[in-house]
Amino acid sequence: MPNTFESISILGLGYIGLPTAAVFASRKIKVIGVDVNPHVVDTINRGEIHIIEPELDMVVRTAVSEGYLRATTEPEPADAFLIAVPTPFKSGPTGPHHPNTDYIESASKSVAPVLKAGDLVILESTSPVGATEQMAAWLAEARPDLTFPQTHGESSDIRIAHCPERVLPGQVLRELIQNDRVIGGMTPKCSDAATRLYKTFVQGECVITNARTAEMCKLTENSFRDVNIAFANELSVVCDDLGINVWELIKLANRHPRVNILQPGPGVGGHCIAVDPWFIVSQSPDHARLIRCAREVNDSKPKWVVDKVKGAVKTLQAARSGLTADAVAISCLGLSFKANIDDTRESPAVDIVRILAREHSGPLLVAEPYLSSLPDSLLGERITMVTTEEAIDRADVIVMLVDHQSFKNITLSTIGTRALVDTRGVWQTGETQ
Ligand code: SAJ
């Protein structure tokens, strides 16, 4: 086992793999990035990026131009392999929310032929408990000539660990370096090797545990946040029912030294918090009752917001006799899953806009300063993309979905007398949505 890693291969050059590859390369380590998508590979080899993340373009451009980062579609030999591929859902015995580890399987099978004794393989993808052991089994099956920790313990040729990523989209480069890292080796020597690798750039603490605990730790962190957001979302619905301003309520309650309620919103989006809790539910369906309930509360919020928008349209109609719904323009502000990023994966804003496009007969305008066109999932819907100014000018009903800074700069006087459904509490009008 080398003390230093001369070359590192990262499989999956997405939101986690690419920044990780770039940061290793910035420490003058040779990085081979592997992705099945040739378009992604070509983009990176030109020194460009295919995702938006602050400062990442600069770090990738430098890494590629200095020769430390190169992308390819086929794995090549390296001293360490990091697997950072997606783990989406698949249907299973109890519903549609079971972890799909197919990408981990194909990534591990693709690195198996280039493995050599002394290599380290790390699973970074968010994974169900047991996935690292499963990955080790796939590797062992493909390479009977090498030994693995599950059969040879500390004397194995290959070291294996799970080290989940924990970085916040929008702050990835800073958090990659500063956050503590959970290192779940299959044996203590596996953990030591992984710690040595991450210590090349991680300034936070590398805390050692076993692979299963590391897997559960990542799922727990995101479930904790989901449950807490569900509490805020449930409060917002209760407060609406009781005629109380939830934003004011939360500010007041948070003055208690041991209370720290999160913010309600239109629902929970992104590829992590809306997904990972289901992995726990899928593996322990009879016991993960609160975690499941939080998912259901958060998933039901978009529909509730749609009903509030429909209610606002009806109120306008009641106030002006003869006004038909098809003469009422609704403007939605924002499509991304949270503020100040372009990422629309699992975005509740997208779901709300889609339902409104199908159920509201009048004009539906959308402003999203982080996108130049509608995401694929909304193509073909009856939606007009406009600038923020136009969205406000033409609106009868404004629906605030994403609290981008540029939207927060809009003053209440600009909104004037237009009806407002503010799911993020940006304007604190006393509305409780
Ligand atoms: N949200 C609210 N109210 C809040 C906070 C968030 O409605 O008070 C919503 C956001 O609008 C968004 C969703 O929750 O739709 C998730 O946003 P987020 O900022 O909470 O989290 P992500 O998905 O961007 O990143 C999370 C982080 N996990 C935790 O904070 C525990 C990050 O550290 C993880 O690395 C990331 O998931 C991941 O990759 O798993």
Give yes or no for residue 168 CB within 6 A of ligand 1: yes
Please tell me the distance between residue 298's alpha carbon and the centre of ligand 1 in angstroms: 13
Residue of 190, 218, 239, 308 with catalytic role: 218
Residue 328's closest CA among 269, 276, 229, 395?
Answer: 395
User: What is the reported pLDDT for 52?
Assistant: 83
One domain for residues 176 and 234: no
| Count of beta carbons in the 10 Å neighbourhood of residue 27 | 13
The answer to whether residue 217 is domain-embedded is no
Please state the atom number of ligand 1 nearest to the C-alpha of residue 272. 40
Is 19:46 a contact under the CB 8 Å cutoff?
Answer: no
Is 285:253 a contact under the CB 8 Å cutoff?
Answer: no
Residue 335's closest CA among 365, 296, 298, 300?
Answer: 365
Please state the atom number of ligand 1 nearest to the C-alpha of residue 266. 7
Query: Is 272 a known active-site residue?
Result: yes
Domain of 332 in residue numbering reads as 223-422
Please tell me the distance between residue 340's alpha carbon and the centre of ligand 1 in angstroms: 13
The answer to whether residue 18 is domain-embedded is yes
One domain for residues 231 and 200: no
Give yes or no for residue 37 CB within 6 A of ligand 1: no
Q: Which of 204, 239, 254 is the last residue of a domain?
A: 204
The answer to whether residue 196 is domain-embedded is yes
One domain for residues 271 and 341: yes
One domain for residues 126 and 228: no
Query: 296's torsion region: left (phi>0), alpha (psi -120 to 50) or beta?
Result: alpha
Give yes or no for residue 84 CB within 6 A of ligand 1: no
Residue nearest ligand 1's atom 29 by CA: 222
Give yes or no for residue 99 CB within 6 A of ligand 1: no
Give yes or no for residue 182 CB within 6 A of ligand 1: no
List of residues 6+ apart from 285 with CB closer than 8 A: 94, 292
Alpha-helical segments (H) within 66-179:
102-111, 131-142, 149-152, 172-178
Using a 10 angstrom Cβ sphere, with 0-12 exposed, 13-18 middle and 19 or more buried, the burial of residue 87 is: buried
Give yes or no for residue 301 CB within 6 A of ligand 1: no
The answer to whether residue 431 is domain-embedded is no
Cα–Cα distance, 135 to 132 (Å, whole number): 5
One domain for residues 175 and 304: no
One domain for residues 197 and 236: no
One domain for residues 163 and 299: no
Number of domain units in the chain: 2
The answer to whether residue 382 is domain-embedded is yes
Please state the atom number of ligand 1 nearest to the C-alpha of residue 229. 3
Q: How many residues does the chain have?
A: 433
Ligand 1 pocket: which of 167, 168, 346 to mutate (most atoms <8 Å of CB)? 168
Give yes or no for residue 152 CB within 6 A of ligand 1: no
One domain for residues 191 and 237: no
Please state the atom number of ligand 1 nearest to the C-alpha of residue 339. 11
Q: Which of 150, 177, 204 is the last residue of a domain?
A: 204
pLDDT in tens, the chain (433 residues): 555 899 999 999 999 999 999 999 999 999 999 999 999 999 999 999 998 889 999 999 999 999 999 999 999 999 999 999 999 999 988 789 999 999 999 999 999 999 999 999 999 999 999 999 999 999 999 999 999 999 999 999 999 999 999 999 889 999 999 999 999 999 999 999 999 999 999 999 999 999 999 999 999 999 999 999 999 999 999 999 999 999 999 999 999 999 999 999 999 999 899 999 999 999 999 999 999 999 999 999 999 999 999 999 999 999 999 999 999 999 999 999 999 988 898 999 999 999 999 999 999 999 999 999 999 999 999 999 999 999 999 999 999 999 999 999 999 999 999 999 999 999 975 444 4
Query: Is 332 a known active-site residue?
Result: no
One domain for residues 173 and 246: no
Residue of 272, 301, 308, 338 with catalytic role: 272
Angle at the Cα of 390 from the Cα atoms of 386 and 394, rounded to 5 degrees:
110
The answer to whether residue 403 is domain-embedded is yes
CA 97 to chain centre: 16
One domain for residues 70 and 153: yes
The answer to whether residue 209 is domain-embedded is no
Q: Which of 204, 236, 254 is the last residue of a domain?
A: 204
One domain for residues 170 and 271: no
One domain for residues 287 and 343: yes
Angle at the Cα of 272 from the Cα atoms of 266 and 277, rounded to 5 degrees:
90
Question: The domain that contains 42 carries what CATH number?
Answer: 3.40.50.720
The answer to whether residue 280 is domain-embedded is yes
User: What is the reported pLDDT for 51?
Assistant: 87
Give yes or no for residue 302 CB within 6 A of ligand 1: no
Residue nearest ligand 1's atom 22 by CA: 168
